[in-house]
């Protein structure tokens, strides 16, 4: 009779044979840059040519759906139902990637070719997110081949627009709620805190982007003739930005200070490793009475992503008529997303900056999500990963970044568990993106063990305590 150990050994043989790298290379070669116009055929091809054959071989029923938003990437929903009496797991991944930045990669590397150097597998999407959903699918396959069945039902949703804010995903989850109905989401994205130790998180910080703009007049005017006579929009904007935080980045808007950093969450974050040497975190930045882990995973952070007044590349002796800053707030559960911009408006007005406009038309809004740290499914998954890896996983209340997890947690009303398979130094969204072979093999083993264990779990594991 096959065992959990047999399934993991099957996964080890798959990886050691080099087949994982070969399979990943086939995914990477699809230039699925959703941020570039005219790429729709590549987004379709990834689902049709790269993913559909993998799922079909595991007896999934597939349906590819167009996006409700024009010229946006499609979706693929797959389902493998063994019995209506068994629990159902929903898996998620995204096959689109950010721009390849082909001219910025190190010599000898190319974004759409998987190249192995030592422990690193280079290529766009290796870490975000092709490598991660490939790991989960191959672990699922190992269990299926070894046991002959999973012992649970499985559904998969692949989207092709996550890097552009997941357009159409909310609508899809609403309209296809029956097709996507499940007992829990288990998915993978983001980095481990440390490469050698599995990480779990149950949601993500929300994020909202907006521009602050000071428009005083048309055109620019000579700084000698009008200096001291015309208000400078860049100076006004700089002072307006300075009233949002103090000099070390501590938030000065009361409504932006969350209420959800409870002692329970602080205990969860205590002693977690965070940061490294590249880059080295600034210990004296952010909320003074919080640990670095609390600042990243339990608190809100404000950032100025870009600023412009005049022509920075070719400055002239003139006072500009306009200044603009693109800003972002990352926020945790306990922050009212509908009050973020109204409270900013009130704060600017009360500090004498009524002339500063808030432009949020182009800003994406991701909602903050978080599962109770006492949920039995979280404990079940943590124990499974510990059994396989020999290490207790790092458990976070949420990812520091943002994901469309609200589609699953709020619309589909699922408990959500995320198990990242990358690491912080993977150059995600940058040239020379890569996935570590060592992390990939460990992740394949962990997910194989988890999928085996899910086939033997009790249904009550999916329910919150007391339900």
8-41, pLDDT tens digit by residue? Answer: 999 999 999 999 999 999 999 999 999 999 999 9
pLDDT at 294 over 70: yes
Task: Give the mean pLDDT of 50-54.
Answer: 98
What are the residue ranges of CATH 3.30.70.360 in the chain? 206-270+284-363
Flag the least confident range among 192-196, 214-218, 457-461. Answer: 457-461
What are the residue ranges of CATH 3.40.630.10 in the chain? 4-204+369-462
Averaged pLDDT of the chain: 95
Q: 3-state class of 212 per DSSP?
A: strand
Sign of CA dihedral 265, 428, 170, 180: negative
Pairwise CA distance, residues 221 & 155, whole Å: 61
Pairwise CA distance, residues 322 & 220, whole Å: 9
Per CATH, the number for 4-204+369-462 is 3.40.630.10
pLDDT at 202: 95
pLDDT at 459 over 80: no
Pairwise CA distance, residues 130 & 147, whole Å: 26
pLDDT at 276 over 60: yes
Quick count: other Cβ atoms within 10 Å of Cβ 268? Answer: 18
Determine if residue 305 is left, alpha or beta; phi over 0 gives left, psi from -120 to 50 gives alpha, anything else beta. alpha
Quick count: other Cβ atoms within 10 Å of Cβ 181? Answer: 13
Sign of CA dihedral 386, 392, 395, 400: negative
pLDDT at 241: 98
Task: Give the mean pLDDT of 366-392.
Answer: 94
Nearest to 200 by CA among 460, 448, 416: 416
Give residue 467's pLDDT band: very low, low, confident or very high (50, 70, 90). low
Give residue 228's pLDDT band: very low, low, confident or very high (50, 70, 90). very high
Q: 3-state class of 307 per DSSP?
A: strand
Fold classified for 206-270+284-363: Alpha-Beta Plaits (3.30.70)
Determine if residue 425 is left, alpha or beta; phi over 0 gives left, psi from -120 to 50 gives alpha, anything else beta. alpha
Alpha carbon separation from 170 to 174, 207, 367 (Å, rounded): 6, 16, 11
Residue 257 DSSP code? S
Q: 3-state class of 422 per DSSP?
A: strand
Give residue 457's pLDDT band: very low, low, confident or very high (50, 70, 90). confident
192's enclosing H/E stretch is strand 191-192
pLDDT at 227: 94
Q: Which two tokens mark 465? A: 């305590």
């Amino acid at each position: 009779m096959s065992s959990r150990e047999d399934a993991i050994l099957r996964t080890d043989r798959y990886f050691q044979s080099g087949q994982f790298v070969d399979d990943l290379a086939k995914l990477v070669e699809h230039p699925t840059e959703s941020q570039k116009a005219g790429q729709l055929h590549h987004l379709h091809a990834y689902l049709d040519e790269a993913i559909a054959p993998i799922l079909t071989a595991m007896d999934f029923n597939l349906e590819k759906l167009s996006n409700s938003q024009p010229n946006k990437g499609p979706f693929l929903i797959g389902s493998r139902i063994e019995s209506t009496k068994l629990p159902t797991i929903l898996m998620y991944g995204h096959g689109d990637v950010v721009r390849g930045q082909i001219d910025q990669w190190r010599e000898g590397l190319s974004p759409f070719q998987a190249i192995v150097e030592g422990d690193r597998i280079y290529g766009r999407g290796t870490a975000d997110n092709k490598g991660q959903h490939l790991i989960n699918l191959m672990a699922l396959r190992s269990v299926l081949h070894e046991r002959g069945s999973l012992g649970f039902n499985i559904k998969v949703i692949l989207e092709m627009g996550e890097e552009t804010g997941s357009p159409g995903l909310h609508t899809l989850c609403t309209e296809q709620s029956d097709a996507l109905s499940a007992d829990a989401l288990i998915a993978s994205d983001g980095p481990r805190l440390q490469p050698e130790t599995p990480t779990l998180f149950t949601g993500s910080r929300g994020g909202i982007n907006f521009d602050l703009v000071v428009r005083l007049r048309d055109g620019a005017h000579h700084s000698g003739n009008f200096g001291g006579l015309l208000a400078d929009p860049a100076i006004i904007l700089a002072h307006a930005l300075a009233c949002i935080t103090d000099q070390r980045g501590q938030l000065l808007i009361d409504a932006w200070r969350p209420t959800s950093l409870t002692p329970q969450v602080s205990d969860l974050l205590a002693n977690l490793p965070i940061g490294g040497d590249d880059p080295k975190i600034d210990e004296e930045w952010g909320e003074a009475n919080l640990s670095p882990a609390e600042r990243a995973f339990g608190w809100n952070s404000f950032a100025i992503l870009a600023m412009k007044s005049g022509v920075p590349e070719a400055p002239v002796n003139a006072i500009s008529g306009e200044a603009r800053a693109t800003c972002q707030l990352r926020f945790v559960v306990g922050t009212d997303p509908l009050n973020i911009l109204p409270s900013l408006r009130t704060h600017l007005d009360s500090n004498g900056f009524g002339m500063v406009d808030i432009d949020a038309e182009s800003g994406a809004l991701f909602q903050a999500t978080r599962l109770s740290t006492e949920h039995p499914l979280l404990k079940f998954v943590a124990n499974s990963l510990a059994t396989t890896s020999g290490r207790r996983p790092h458990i976070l209340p949420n990812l520091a970044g943002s994901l469309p997890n609200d589609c699953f947690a709020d619309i589909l009303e699922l408990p959500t568990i995320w198990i990242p398979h990358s690491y912080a130094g993977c150059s995600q969204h940058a040239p020379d993106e890569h996935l570590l072979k060592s992390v990939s093999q460990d992740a394949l083993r962990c997910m194989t063990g988890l999928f085996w264990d899910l086939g033997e779990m009790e249904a009550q594991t999916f329910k919150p305590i007391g339900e």
